[in-house]
Structure 1
Amino acid sequence: MKHGIYIANYAVGGGPSSFVQLAVEAERAGWDGFFIWDHIYPDPQEIKNVTDPWITLAGIAASTDSIRLGTTVTPLPRRRPQKVAREVASLDRLSGGRFTLGVGLGGSEPECAPFGEETDTKVLAEMLDESLEILRGLWSGREFTFHGTHYSIDGVTFRPRPKQKTVPIWCAGTWPLKAPFRRAARYEGVFPLGLHEYLTPEDFVDIRKYIDRYRTKESVYDVVDVVRTEDPDDTQWIPELSEAGVTWLAEVVMEQDLKMVLERVKKGPVNL
C-alpha cells in the first residue's frame, strides 16, 4: 500500500510556491506521492485563486528527489493531446521518471460551458479514447500517424521520449458506471469515485473483479482510494482495503490554511 497527497489546485490559497513547499515536506515525511487536481475554472463563487498544476509540478519535480508526482485528474478532452504528450515527457525527464498521469472526461458542465467547450459526455469519451491512443503513439519515439473522428496526426515523431518506458496512466471513473472501468483496464491504474458517497471495501472488490475481466496483460495495476485521515496511528481499516485490491491511499486536501495542511503533511501517512 502506498500513500499520496491528493490536493486541490485551489487549496492553500492557490499559490504555486505553497504547493512546492508541501511536496518537499511530504517527501521528507515519507509520503509516496503528491498529486494535484487539474481544474481550470472551479466554482468562482467559492474559489478565488487557482494554480496551474503543470507549471507547479515542474517546480516540484525540480525540488524533490523521490516522491511520485502527477495530475489527478487531467480532463484530457479539454487539452490538445500533442501538448500534453510534450508536457508529460518533459516532466517525466525533469523528475527522473516519477510522473503519473491521471485522466478523465472533464465533464463538469459549469466549469467548461463558459468557454464554449464540448459538454456531451459521449463526445468527451470519444475524445478521451483518441487522446490516450495519441499519447502512447507520440511517446513511442517513432513516427506516428493517427486519423480519428476528433484528431488527426500525420507522420510526427516526438523526442525525447519520457524517462519511464511506460508512463503510468490512471483513468478516473464513477462507480458503478461501467464504461470508464473498461477503459481503465487498458492502462496502468484506476481512480474510482463513488456516485454519491465514498466507496466501500466491497465496492473495491467489485471494481477489481470487473477490471480484471478486461485486463489483457499481466503487470502491476494500481487502484486508488480517496481517503481522509486525521490520526496516522488509526490503521485498523487499512488491511480490509488492501485485501480488496487498493494499492494507493490518496489523502484529500482542500483546506486554505497552509499552516494546518503543513501540520498534517508533516505527520506523515498512516503508520502500518
Structure 2
Amino acid sequence: MQFAIDIPHFGPFSDPHLVAELAHEAEEEGWDGFFLWDHINYRIAGSSEPLVVADPWIQLAAIALRTKRIKIGPMVTPLPRRQPWKLARETVTLDLLSEGRLIFGIGLGSDRSREYSDFGGPTDAKVRGEMLDEGLAILTQLWSGEEVSYKGQHYQLSQVQFLPKPLQQPRIPIWVAGNWPHKKPFRRAAQWDGVFPLMVERALTPDDFREILDYTSAQRTLTTPFEVIVGGLTSGTDKASDAAQVASFAEVGGTWWLESFYPRHTLEQVRQRIHQGPPQL
C-alpha cells in the first residue's frame, strides 16, 4: 500500500506557493503522492460567499518543481470539459517537468456546481461518457508521437502529430474514477491502469471494494499492473487503529490510500496530518 495526500485547490489551498510547500513537506515526511482536485468552479452547500479557486494544473507544475520523488496528479480531471489535444500538451509537459511522476486521474465529473451548465457544456451523463471515451482515445494516440487522424461523434482530428512523447512509457498511467454501483465507469477503468471507486451516499467499505474489484477484474483483459485507490481519513494519532483501518482495504486489493481532505478542513488540520506521517502497516 502506498500513501498520498489529496486536497482541494480552492479556499485556503488556492495559493500555489503554499500548496507546493505542503507537497514538499509531505515528501519529507515519507508520503508517496500528492494529488489535487480539478474543478473550474465549486459551490459549497449553504454558502453564498464567492470561492477563491486556483488552476490545479498550474499548481501541479509548482509542486513538480518543489518535489523530487512523490507521484503527483489530478484526482480527478473531468475530461469532457477539456479539449483532449490541449490536455495532451499539458500532461506531457508536466510528465517531463516532474521527470516521470505524473498520474492522470480522470472521470465524468458532475454538474453539481454547474461546472458544465454555467459554461454551455454537456449535462447529460451519457454524452459526457461518450466524450470521455473519445477523449481518452485521442489523448493516448497523441501521446504516441505518431501522426493521428480521428473521426468521432464529438471530436475530429486530421493528420496531427504531437512531440515530444511522455517520459513515462508505454504511457502516463491513467486512473479512472467512478461512482459505485454504476457499472460503466468500472468497465472503463478495466481498460486502463487503475480504478478510484467513489460513492455518493456514503463511504465505501472493504466489502464494497471486494464487490467492486470482483466486477472490475472480470472486465479486465490486460495483464499490466493495476492500481486500486482508496480514499479516506485516518487519525494520525492512533497508529494501531489507523493501521487496522488501512489494512482492511489492503486485504481486499487496495494499493493506494489517499488521505482525502475536503473544503471543511483547515490548513492547520491538513498540515498537522502531513507531519504525522503516513499510516504504518
User: When the two structures are superposed, what TM-score results if normalisation uses the length of structure 1?
Assistant: 0.96
- The match for 1:5 is 5
Equivalence map 1:72-91=2 (5 Å) = 72-91=75-94
Question: Aligned equivalents of 1:13 and 1:32: distance in 2?
Answer: 20
SS in 2 for 1:58: helix
Q: Which residue of 1 aligns with 2:279?
A: 270
Aligned to 2:61: 58
- Which residue is equivalent to 2:269? 260
1:28-70 residue CA offsets vs partner (Å, 9 max, x unmatched): 0111110100011100635611111100100110111000000
Q: Which sits farther off after the overlay, 203-212 or 230-239? A: 230-239
CA drift at 1:13: 4.4
Aligned to 2:73: 70
The change in CA–CA distance for 1:145 and 1:205 in structure 2 (over 3 A counts) is same
CA distance in 1, matches of 2:220, 2:208: 18
**Which amino acid in structure 2 is aligned with residue 42 of structure 1?**
Y
CA contact (8 A) 2:11 2:51 kept: no
Match of 2:109 in 1: 106
Percent identity, aligned pairs only? Answer: 46
Superposition CA RMSD, Å: 1.4
In structure 2, the partner of 1:49 is 52
Give the aligned residue type for 1:123: V
Mapped to 2, the partners of 1:126 and 1:264 lie a distance apart of 39
Contact map agreement 1:169 1:187 (CA 8 A) in 2: yes
Once the two structures are overlaid, the 10-residue window that deviates more, 156-165 or 257-266, is: 257-266
Unmatched runs of 5 consecutive residues or more in structure 2: none
Deviates more, 1:218-227 or 1:230-239: 230-239
AA matched with 2:81: R
Task: Quote the Cα distance in structure 2 between the aligned partners of 1:60 and 1:23.
Answer: 6
> Is 43-52 or 158-167 further displaced after alignment?
43-52
1:240 maps to which of 238, 242, 248: 248
Provide the C-alpha distance between the structure 2 equivalents of 1:11 and 1:185, rounded to a whole number of angstroms.
Answer: 34
**Residues in 2 aligned to 1:103 and 1:41: alpha-carbon distance in whole angstroms:** 17
Instruction: Give the alignment partner of residue 156 of structure 2, picking from 152, 159, 172.
Output: 152
Quick check: 1:205–1:245 contact (8 Å CA) kept in 2? yes
Match of 1:138 among 138, 142, 162: 142
Mapped partners of 2:250, 2:73: distance in 1: 22
* Matches of 2:14 and 2:188, distance apart in 1: 32
**What SS does the corresponding residue of 2:105 show, helix, strand or coil?**
strand
The residue that corresponds to 1:124 in the other structure is 128
Provide the rounded CA distance (Å) in 2 between the counterparts of 1:257 and 1:228.
14
Instruction: Flag as ranges the 4+ runs of structure 1 deviating above 6 A.
Output: none
Q: Tell me the SS of whatever aligns to 2:213.
A: helix
Q: Is 1:200 the equivalent of 2:202? A: no
Contact 2:236 2:273 in 1 (8 A): no
In the alignment, is the contact (CA less than 8 A) between 1:10 and 1:47 conserved in 2? no
Counterpart AA for 1:200: T
